[in-house]
């Protein structure tokens, strides 16, 4: 059978909302710019997640959800949450529509190796907790990739991820989405699916002007079969369909249930296609790279400073966070050293506490038997500080270009809360270095400095930290 007669189509949506509000309680306060809704989660749920659930769209696409969003939906929109879980359609098989993702949506190539591993293992644990199966695939936040990240994914048992065509060095001509192998060290490999960048961008940024699913499928998607290989993959933000573009959940519904098939495609999921068509060709990656930043990962690492824009505060804030994380790590290692416990293996195993399957006290008693009560209490605080330190690096912190915006404030609040918990555990002043580091976090766009934001969030959330 010819290639044109065996055309498969998959649309992938990544759904995510950044964590916000009180870093200790998780409560999201009123967000006036989300009016008439109380906050943006409420607004986007009504305009995107719920309409897509009502349309049955999660059953026809491959997708991933950030853990913070799934946790919010489970509590606040249980019907939508159940539609997402049902959309995986894999409660009794090894295949489904859902992929795992990094627990705190951090840019993994910018993280230390042990932090990469923690984010991957926590993300896999969260997926198993919610979907009841091991994930085959793993979505990298912002598609940010390097070889070390892929190696850690492979070591964790992940079979494939998804990348943009611009991130592939030697993509075979007209071979479509693959999957392909990326060769790693020690004879390891991992699979990668490659999205069609042009069509993905067209959907992402112009779906409102495409004339509807039928018109677009007939005029664009159908003709693309000639050069799409066995599988054509579109990958975009899930919020494209209803939040960024109101009402386009219907575009997605008709595209996946009628129009793509009408022009000759068979709808498939990435899990199913990977299982039925394992990779046979190898490619190499551009590293580090992402699906959107044309200058490596500068948007999330250093920012930029030129005549038109100054986002160099991102680099200064990241340095401040790195220094705070190092101090938190030292305190954590110092406590566990006399107990002969590997601190990073212990942290990797902490997901059941984060997911509510067991209490921190139960976890510590099980993993560190015989620990004294006061040491156990200190360890509880330091494990809490470790989780907050991981949360500091959520990608959304560095996506917005305004220092005074909601996400940098939340990240600074997470750092302050982590330092407070470490201070409780050690009895030492943990904030002095962070204060001086934040004093140089400045931007031409605001008179506020990072240290001003720190003082504001300490007061707002009543954190016991002298600043």
| 260 shares its domain with 340 | no
pLDDT tens for residues 143-152?
Answer: 999 999 999 9
| 335 shares its domain with 267 | no
Phi, psi at 327, each rounded to 5°: -65, -40
Q: Residue 153 has what pLDDT?
A: 98
Mean pLDDT of the chain: 95
| 270 shares its domain with 310 | no
| 200 shares its domain with 69 | yes
* 288: in domain: no
The total number of structural domains in the chain stands at 2
Q: Are 201 and 291 in contact (CB under 8 A)?
A: no
Least confident of 88-97, 104-113, 219-228, 415-424: 88-97
Between CA 464 and CA 422 the distance in angstroms is 11
* 466: in domain: no
Contacts of 290 (CB under 8 A, 6+ apart): 107, 142, 143, 144, 145, 167, 297, 299
**Domain end: 249, 283, 317, which one?**
283
| 214 shares its domain with 242 | yes
| 88 shares its domain with 220 | yes
| 265 shares its domain with 335 | no
**pLDDT of 102 higher than 60:** yes
Q: Is the dihedral of CA 223, 228, 230, 235 positive or negative?
A: negative
Q: Residue 304 has what pLDDT?
A: 85
Least confident of 4-8, 143-147, 404-408: 4-8
Q: Are 407 and 400 in contact (CB under 8 A)?
A: yes
| 214 shares its domain with 89 | yes
Least confident of 114-118, 289-293, 297-301, 330-334: 289-293
* 73: in domain: yes
**pLDDT of 4 higher than 90:** no
pLDDT tens for residues 354-393?
Answer: 999 999 999 999 999 999 999 999 999 999 999 999 999 9
| 176 shares its domain with 251 | yes
* 123: in domain: yes
Mean pLDDT over residues 392-403, rounded? 94
Q: How many residues does the chain have?
A: 467
Q: Residue 305 has what pLDDT?
A: 81
Domain that holds residue 88: 3-283
| 312 shares its domain with 381 | yes
pLDDT tens for residues 188-217?
Answer: 999 999 999 999 999 999 999 999 999 999
pLDDT tens for residues 237-277?
Answer: 999 999 999 999 999 999 999 999 999 999 999 999 999 99
Between CA 336 and CA 343 the distance in angstroms is 6
**Domain end: 283, 312, 331, which one?**
283
* 443: in domain: yes
Phi, psi at 64, each rounded to 5°: -140, 150
**Domain end: 251, 283, 315, which one?**
283
Between CA 413 and CA 268 the distance in angstroms is 42
**pLDDT of 184 higher than 90:** yes
Label residue 2 by pLDDT band (50, 70, 90): very low
Mean pLDDT over residues 26-45, rounded? 95
Q: Residue 3 has what pLDDT?
A: 41
Tokens of 288: 């580090």
* 295: in domain: no
pLDDT tens for residues 112-127?
Answer: 999 999 999 999 999 9
* 291: in domain: no
Q: Say which CATH number the domain at 226 has.
A: 3.20.110.20
pTM over 0.85: yes
Q: Residue 90 has what pLDDT?
A: 58
| 266 shares its domain with 368 | no
* 413: in domain: yes
Strand-pairing partners, residue 252, are none
| 258 shares its domain with 355 | no
């Amino acid at each position: 059978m010819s290639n044109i007669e065996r055309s498969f189509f998959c649309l992938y949506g990544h759904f995510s909302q950044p964590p916000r509000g009180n870093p200790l309680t998780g409560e999201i306060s009123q967000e006036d710019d989300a009016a008439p809704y109380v906050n943006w989660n409420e607004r986007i749920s009504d305009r995107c997640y719920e309409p897509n659930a009502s349309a049955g769209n999660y059953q026809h696409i491959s997708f991933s959800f950030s853990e913070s969003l799934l946790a919010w939906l489970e509590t606040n929109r249980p019907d939508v949450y159940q539609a997402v879980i049902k959309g995986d359609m894999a409660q009794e098989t090894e295949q489904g529509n859902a992929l795992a993702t990094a627990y705190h949506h951090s840019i993994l190539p910018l993280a230390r190796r042990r932090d990469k591993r923690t984010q991957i293992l926590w993300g896999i644990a969260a997926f198993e907790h919610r979907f009841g199966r091991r994930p085959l695939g793993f979505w990298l936040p912002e598609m940010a990739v390097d070889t070390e990240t892929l190696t850690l994914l492979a070591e964790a048992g992940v079979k494939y991820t998804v990348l943009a065509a611009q991130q592939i060095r030697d993509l075979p001509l007209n071979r479509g989405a693959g999957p392909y192998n990326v060769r790693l060290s020690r004879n390891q490999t991992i699979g990668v699916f490659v999205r069609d960048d042009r069509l993905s961008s067209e959907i992402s940024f112009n779906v409102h002007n495409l004339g509807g699913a039928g018109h677009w499928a007939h005029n664009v998607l159908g003709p693309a079969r000639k050069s799409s290989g066995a599988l054509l993959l579109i990958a975009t933000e899930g919020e494209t369909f209803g939040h960024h573009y109101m009402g386009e959940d219907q575009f997605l519904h008709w595209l996946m249930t009628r129009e793509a098939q009408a022009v000759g495609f068979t709808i498939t999921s990435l899990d199913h296609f990977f299982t039925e068509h394992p990779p046979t060709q190898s490619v190499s990656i551009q590293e580090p790279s992402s699906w959107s930043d044309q200058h490596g990962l500068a948007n999330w690492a250093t920012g930029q400073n030129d005549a038109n824009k100054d986002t160099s505060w991102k680099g200064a804030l990241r340095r401040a966070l790195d220094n705070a994380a190092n101090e938190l790590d030292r305190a954590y290692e110092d406590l566990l050293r006399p107990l002969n416990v590997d601190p990073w293996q212990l942290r990797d195993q902490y997901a059941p506490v984060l997911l509510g399957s067991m209490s921190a006290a139960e976890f510590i008693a099980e993993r560190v038997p015989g620990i004294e009560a006061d040491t156990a209490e200190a360890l509880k605080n330091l494990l809490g500080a470790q989780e907050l330190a991981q949360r500091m690096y959520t990608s959304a912190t560095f996506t917005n270009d305004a220092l005074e915006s909601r996400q940098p404030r939340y990240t600074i609040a997470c750092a302050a809360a982590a330092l407070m918990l470490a201070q409780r555990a050690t009895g030492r002043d943990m904030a002095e270095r962070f204060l001086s580091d934040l004093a140089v976090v400045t931007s031409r766009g605001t008179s506020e400095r990072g240290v001003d934001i720190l003082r504001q969030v300490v007061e707002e959330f009543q954190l016991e930290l002298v600043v």
